[in-house]
Amino acid sequence: MARHTEGHAVLREQLIDAAERTIAGKGLAALKARDLAREVGCAVGTIYNVFPHLDELVLCVGLRTLASLEATLGAGRPPGRHRSPEEPIEDLVQLALAYLEFAATHTMRWRALFEHRMSEARALPEWFLKQQHRLFAQVERPLGALLPELDPQARRVLARTVFSAVHGVVALGLEEKLVSLPVPDLTRQLAATVRAIATGRDALRAIDRDDRSADLRQS
């Protein structure tokens, strides 16, 4: 039994490794069960003994991508108090630029995070959501210093709004079919955009007030 469990775990890692290589090299659309089985030397049906469905395999690759992105965003930013009002703004700018660097360097893996859609209306598993929350927490920290009056829930919502704005700029800037920009130009545009958002504290507070009003209307 122990030997079977160990073999199952080894095959699981081999399949995740192979799926990650495929996604990194050719994109999510290239991921096929038959090709994976051939690469790791197992039957197609064996994949479904390890993963109930391909969604879980894709999410395991996505989990690695999110963890790598989290490490990139956290690099060189030791946690601690901000000593001046400008520091949380610069922290947000550096987070945005690190996000752009990751997206430009690991484009296929990064795109797969947003291209993947769960089949059969499956919900995202808790282990994947926890990693997402760890990522958003990196944005929440400087926002908490910038707007200390926000309660934790408001800060979480605002962090996702700011992330969405940054992601939109990065995604459109890197999209070859739309308004693709050279990375140095995109870097400057992104930094200016985030500084404009962060220095417009009244506007950020207004977003929070609008969210609260919407919650009250729905309650």
- Domain positions in the chain: 1-51, 54-218
> How much is the pLDDT for 121?
80
Q: Please give the CATH topology (third level) of the domain spanning 54-218.
A: Tetracycline Repressor; domain 2 (1.10.357)
Residue 108 one-letter amino acid: M
pLDDT averaged over every residue in the chain: 87
Question: Can you give the pLDDT at residue 175?
Answer: 84
Q: What is the pLDDT of residue 122?
A: 86
Range from 33-47, 71-85, 150-164 carrying the lowest mean pLDDT: 71-85
Alpha helices by DSSP H, the chain: 2-26, 33-40, 44-50, 54-74, 86-105, 107-115, 126-146, 152-174, 183-199, 201-218
Mean pLDDT to the nearest integer, 110-123:
91
Q: Say which CATH superfamily domain 1-51 falls into.
A: Homeodomain-like (1.10.10.60)
Which stretch of 40-44, 166-170, 195-199 has the lowest confidence by average pLDDT? 195-199
State pTM to two decimals.
0.86
